[in-house]
Structure 1
């Protein structure tokens, strides 16, 4: 599934789940990605304002183009595609924060047109496998705006525990924002996936 470098990881793409393909984001994804990344409601809780098509294209060529983990501090963004239709549903990110602490973080954004079908949960589940089995992480976190209840439900379904509620801890998009910190440990994940496959 993945090729480990001396210090890093090069996943084998596409990563397949029951209904999805996770793959590198390509220039052809820009128009479909622009649909949700230009929607103020869809990007309300992510760290950028609505993006123009040109801005989406520029990010695809730069920060969203990484396909491997070379060193801590980096991450990879992947397109989430419906295996049956080929439609772009959204995108996900896995950050590798620390080699010593074996720490990572997940993030995700999906086109609201595909909400409520479990795609985010399925895609983030694949990121957990990539992080725990591929990178050998010990702990994967998710930082979620307190108002983003649908995003919190995604990680809760995957077994993440809420560790903190940081009241008005960040000045985000011109207002104080309360952040929730969720996390899942490798042995907790293995216990859930082992029980599910038994």
Structure 2
């Protein structure tokens, strides 16, 4: 396991650990009911956002099971969202990715680009074998990101939990390290690299 050098750069974005100076940016999406529609919890107060930001900033690299790496997604110096990598199992080499973007930045492929970078970190720096992602089945924008990444839909759990007062369905997607590496070779070949 090797901690990456930050920021992690993609074609259009920079991913870096959160700092307490990011409070206004984080609150700009955590305070919105529409952003929280498919997330556990509700829109947050400034004090609740500050508490969540302390937790995000505390882990700059997941060193043990259960830890979350939450990186700020920057576009041209502006924090527009977050990308998450949870270290699920050291023995089974499993992790989970997630993402949240401010709605002003939806529809530009930023979630896909940032999540691809997190999957690279999972395989290249954390040494994982398998990475999953999950979402509410009604959250089409989220599962479309997983499909654009080439993740395989492995499960559709019907009525697996009561979510915000109603039965909810959950989708599970996954990709294995060797599949991800093959896709990277194919992407490079398609781009003339």
Q: TM-score range by the shorter chain?
A: over 0.9
SS at match of 1:188: helix
Partner in structure 1 of residue 77 of structure 2: 86
Structure 2: 5+ residue stretches without partners: none
Distance 2:40 2:97 in 1: 14
Partner in structure 2 of residue 148 of structure 1: 139
Partner in structure 1 of residue 17 of structure 2: 24
Distance 2:158 2:57 in 1: 31
Distance 2:55 2:25 in 1: 18
Q: Is it true that 1:76 corresponds to 2:78 in the alignment?
A: no
Partner in structure 1 of residue 178 of structure 2: 187
Partner in structure 1 of residue 87 of structure 2: 96
Alpha-carbon offset, residue 110 of structure 1: 0.3
Q: Deviations over 1:126-172 (max 9, x none)?
A: 00100011111111001110000000010100100111110010122
Partner in structure 1 of residue 33 of structure 2: 40
Q: Structure 1 residues 44-53 or 184-193, which shifts more?
A: 44-53
Distance 1:62 1:121 in 2: 24
User: TM-score, with normalisation over the residues of structure 1?
Assistant: 0.92
Q: Assess if the C-alpha contact under 8 Å between 2:133 and 2:173 holds in 1.
A: yes
User: TM-score, with normalisation over the residues of structure 2?
Assistant: 0.94
Q: Is it true that 1:15 corresponds to 2:16 in the alignment?
A: no
SS at match of 1:41: helix
Partner in structure 2 of residue 178 of structure 1: 169
SS at match of 1:195: helix
Q: Is it true that 1:118 corresponds to 2:131 in the alignment?
A: no
Distance 1:64 1:151 in 2: 24
Structure 1: 5+ residue stretches without partners: none
SS at match of 1:47: coil
Alpha-carbon offset, residue 64 of structure 1: 4.5
Match of residue 46, structure 2, among 31, 34, 53: 53
Q: Deviations over 1:71-120 (max 9, x none)?
A: 122121110001xx311110011011111111000011100001100000
SS at match of 1:10: coil
